[in-house]
A and B are shown apart, each in its own frame.
Chain A
Amino acid sequence: MLMDTSDETLALAAASGDHAAFAALVTRHYDRIFGLGWRLTGSRAEAEDLAQDICAALPHRLRGWRAEARFTTWLYRVVVNAAHDARRRAAVRNRAATGWGDWEISRQEAIAEDRAAQDWLAESMARLPVELRDTVALVLGEDMTQAEAGAVLGLSEGTIAWRMSEVKKRLRALATEEAKA
């Protein structure tokens, strides 16, 4: 019975104390959370950590769910934000560890490491600035329309369209480089 119930109904039931509904909701969406986590971070381990943290925080977050948006849209937003927070925390940690003057050096090293990665996907994604990467993960990875991606990121459809055209420019530049090499 629960498997046919809509996400929105399940979320409302979970928010009012229904354990079974909450369990069904998490079971149904774990793969989705993990998948988007992987698209955003490019790492299986990071995506697993992220998914686990999101699942653990979901009861708290659900209190803020007002059924104003589709559940999946809301969930995508949670994942994107969590990925962003994790990235930022990691950045702060790295900076603290290497000392203040070494920010730029460690950033350059990180870029160098990324270049060394064999995978074309990793390289392409690493070349994109963070906000373009988020947009790409949603529009191409999750096959969303620009309007849907805009709803998740809290941006207008036009901004998404502009970002995708930016992505296209960068991908073309990359293809040209590859052709030369």
Chain B
Amino acid sequence: MTRDPDFERLRAALQAPPASDAAAKARAMNRAMAAYEDSALSRQGLTPPLRPLADRAPTVRGASAVRRVLKSLSVKPLLAATTSAAALTVGLVVLLPQSEVQTPGGGPSELAQRSQDMAVPSPAEPPEAAPMMTRRTAPAEAQPERAAESTAAEQGDAATPPSLAAPDSAPMAEGPEAKGFANAGVNPLRVTAEAPVSAFPAKIGTASYALVRSSLMAGALPRPDAVRVEEMVNHFPYAYPAPEAGEPPFRANVTVMPTPWNPDTRLVQIGLQGRLPEVAARPPLNLVLLIDTSESMDTPDRLPLLKQALRLMLAEMRQEDQVAIVAYAGTPGEVLAPTPANQSATILAALDQLETRNPLAETAGLTLAYSLAEGMTAAGEVSRILLATDGDFNLGVDDPEGMEGFVARKGKTGVNLSVLAFGRDALDEAVMQSLAQNGNGSAASVATLNEARKVLMDQLTGPLFPIADEVTIDVEWNPGQVAEYRLIGHETQALQPGQSTTDAAGMGAITAGHQVTALYEVTAPGSPALRNDPLRYGTAVSDAMADAAATGEMAQDAPELGFVRLRYKAPGESVNAVIEMPIVADTGTGPDARFAAAIAGFGQLLRASADLEDWGWDQAITLAEANRGEDPFGYRDEAVTLMRLAQSLAQDAK
């Protein structure tokens, strides 16, 4: 025992804590008992529950709603495979067949299969996409008209009726809310005569879907402003036809269908598919895993899930690939020196030794990871750091420009950084996105093994091959056919026409296999769904377009609703290339388009959007369920389950 006079004053002070508060203690006891009843421990036992359901805290009532829905569903095995471990305390990691896990290179290549699925259009799709034209223009040509359009768009903004703002009375979520979401009101309706050109970004994240899922699985509706409809729509792969070798790097795919939630408008889906990655010819990859081993990673949906997913990834890696592992915040430092990927026994052993621990000192994890990656890189090879964490970004970087500057500088040396985020409570989306953007990589939230596998497989292929730079996508609407339009989602990133997302982020080539989907709800002139009165005097832009229509530049028998223009630069080139495609009214629609519409509806229901009017959960679920298509990875099945869950929670909240 230390009985040192120097310590006595501190000892006395420390040993006189304030008495614990009885009310606080009772609250803690209630939460503990509720958690106990919900835990696997309680279900093992035979003792009946101590307290009735009505007595519990709100979050727990939500969890019981989760169970109710789980019980009511007939697809139990599938559910078990996709349910987050936060809702069911049984680990989902046991569901993998051993053979698939342990044999590197054995079994059918997941990757090849996925590429095939994307390449073959489903039978319900129109056999030929509408004709496309490619031309090359000097960069200067595009500039003056851009400026005029921007001004027009600003005017359109100012004319937005206030009645379209999102209602504030939407049901709120329980649970962690301290995270910073930047998400403004509903994307406004535009009048074509005032702002005929609209733009959407070529890169759309998918983090919002993971967030929505983990929130619903934890038994709470997500906060409406945490829901990003465009990210939810882009979470799903669609079977767009891919460009062939020798064609431009993108292929546009446009469908027009009646809007499910409004019979008087139409829904235009614009899907862009980038050239598929050459799986066989990819350069060797040096992968440094930077793994957060702090105590909070020690739940089944975090470190154990990562280990499982890495095993699967390892099976797809090649002999010339190398893997190194750095841990931070727990077991500090280099856990595995650079090792050829075919020595899977060594790598797996190092993975298994990772243990979460109370961090005792900051480790310079990120610096170490970069120096390892730089040391592994030879000419023609690709190096990537994959940061796996649940929100501890305390990476021990001591840089005057902060971690962001450090990562951006390192990104220029050819080593890029991707972030894989686990769990929900500690996750800080803003930090995660900022790191990945500056590190020239991608960020993804992961809650299930399927998803972890998808994200890791993407690390092996897609992001390795840039196919285009400085991509801008503009859609010009024909005022003769479309009086008003609304880009669904995109509240955070309203782009000016011609503005490139890659400009905005200051980096970021579009890589092979890239896919992006945008949905517009458009209203024809004279439709009862119009929200704005027509302009009495018109505008210069609409007059010019009306003239063009009158002089027969637009064929009347197949009316064009609008025109898609995609501008890009081929990697390493300085001239713009343009891909153009008209939006025609009578395209066929397949299950892909209808499923995307159902997800857009799902997102808008979660955001309590006024645009849906009477259209509700039942309609969204029916539409999604009928259009699941082949769904080889079970993504769409899972979405239907989540929609049912959300419906049940929304009813609870009433």
Contact = CB atoms under 8 A, between A and B. Distances in A.
Interface of A: 14-20, 22-23, 26-27, 30-31, 34-35, 38-39, 44, 47-48, 51-52, 55-60, 62-63, 77, 80-82, 84-85, 88-89, 91-93, 95-97, 100-101, 103, 120-121, 124, 131, 136-137, 139-141, 143, 145-146, 153-155, 164, 167-168, 171-172, 175
Interface of A is mostly: helix
Contact of A93 (B11, B43, B50, B178): B178
Given A30-B25, A57-B35, A91 B360 contact: no
Nearest to B180: A96
List 3 A-B pairs, minimum CB-CB distance, nearest first.
A17-B45, A100-B402, A55-B32
B64 interface: no
Contacts of A34: 17, 20, 24-25
A171 B17 contact: no
A171 B6 CA distance: 7
B428 A56 contact: no
Nearest to A61: B298
Contacts of A100: 401-405, 434
A14 B9 CA distance: 39
Interface stretch (B388-396, B414-422, B479-487): B388-396
A63 B180 contact: no
B7 to A, nearest CB: 6
B375 interface: no
B294 A52 contact: no
26 contacts: A17-B47, A19-B33, A31-B20, A38-B18, A48-B21, A48-B24, A52-B27, A52-B28, A55-B35, A56-B31, A56-B34, A59-B38, A59-B39, A84-B359, A89-B391, A92-B392, A92-B394, A96-B428, A96-B430, A100-B403, A100-B405, A103-B402, A121-B13, A140-B15, A164-B2, A164-B7
Contact of B294 (A63, A88, A143): A88
Contact of A16 (B28, B34, B44, B428): B44
B31 A145 contact: no
Nearest to B31: A56
A52 to B, nearest CB: 4
Contacts of A17: 41-47
Given A19-B47, A34-B17, A84-B358, A51 B28 contact: yes
Contacts of B24: 34, 48, 51-52
Contacts of B41: 14-17, 22, 59, 62-63
B646 to A, nearest CB: 24
B431 A92 contact: yes
Given A84-B358, A89-B426, A91-B394, A52 B10 contact: no
A44 B17 CA distance: 9
Contacts of B358: 77, 80-81, 84, 153-154
A155 B360 contact: yes
B454 interface: no
B394 A30 contact: no
B297 to A, nearest CB: 10
Contacts of A31: 20, 25
Contacts of B178: 93
A19 B47 CA distance: 7
B10 A44 contact: no
A135 B367 CA distance: 29
